[in-house]
Amino acid sequence: MKPGPFISHLAAAARVEEKTLSVLARALRDADILEKGPRGINAIEVDHVYLAKTLIGRMGTDKPARAVAAFGRFSAMQMLSSGGHQFVKSQLPDPDHSLLDFMVEICKPTVDLTKGGEFEVRFVGSAAVDVVRDGEIFLMYGDSKGLEKRTAEMREAVQDKSGEKLRALMLSSFSDENSLHGIVETRSFTSTWLQELKTVVLADRGGG
């Protein structure tokens, strides 16, 4: 699928304004995050990397002016809940892999997300990304920089198998003013939704 129809389809699937998503994608292209190319019939075809990067930009913010910064922050997040590495170890053997690595992996047309049970990817404020299955966090990505002075809390938090202590620590360290008042904006998508999106967008690349 070409970038133009892709943005139209994603906007409908995500229930966001196409114009807003188009401006957001343009900002990512101008920053050389998304691949550029000619327009019209010679335009590039959207692949799994293009899809993953667009989703990170979209889930990171709904403000096109903040898209590049949001992508930079979220894409570089690393796995914090090391105990959850077993769930992705076969595909992502490096325990220090980034959220971008994870997103690129699950966006591959050859990866069938209907197997293994549905999961949800939640972008929690600007603090972390939770991967949740059956109501439990089994993977968490975040930015541990800035937590150097809270090592004792960090050490205790990572022992909590539920992930709740770690997420609370991340939120208290990196959340904005609204979060401090108990308002945390969360954007999410399910593996079922992504699989359906891949089936259409990446049909020519084996997504169907």
pLDDT tens digits for range 167-207: 565 555 555 444 443 444 788 999 999 999 999 999 876 55
- pLDDT on residue 208: 47
- pLDDT on residue 56: 96
Q: Which residues neighbour 16 within 8 Å (Cβ) at sequence distance 6 or greater? A: 58, 62
Q: Are 46 and 6 in contact (CB under 8 A)?
A: yes
Q: Quote the mean pLDDT of the chain.
A: 82
Q: Apex CA 22: angle with CA 20 and CA 23, to 5°?
A: 65
Residue 130: which pLDDT band, with cuts at 50, 70 and 90?
confident
End-to-end CA distance of the chain: 12
Per DSSP, what are the bridge partners of residue 121?
131, 189
- pLDDT on residue 185: 72
Sequence letter at residue 197: L
Q: Cα 37 vs. chain centroid, distance in angstroms?
A: 24
Q: Are 116 and 108 in contact (CB under 8 A)?
A: no
C-alpha count within 13 angstroms, C-beta hemisphere, residue 184: 19
Number of other CB atoms surrounding residue 4 within 10 Å: 14
What are 48-77's pLDDT values in tens digits? Answer: 999 999 999 999 988 999 999 999 999 999
Average pLDDT in the 27-36 region?
Answer: 94
Sheet holding 120-124, edge to edge: 78-79, 136-142, 128-133, 120-124, 186-190
Which is more confident, 15 or 128?
Answer: 15
Least confident of 26-30, 97-101, 131-135, 178-182: 178-182
SS3 160: coil
| Distance set, CA 177 to CA 66, 68, 74, 184 (Å) | 17, 21, 19, 9
- pLDDT on residue 13: 94
- pLDDT on residue 69: 92
Q: Is the pLDDT of residue 134 over 60?
A: yes
Instruction: Concatenate the DSSP letters of all residues of 12-51 into one string.
Output: HHHT--HHHHHHHHHHHHHTTSSPP---GGGPPPP-HHHH
Element (H, E) at 130: strand 128-133
Per DSSP, what are the bridge partners of residue 139?
131
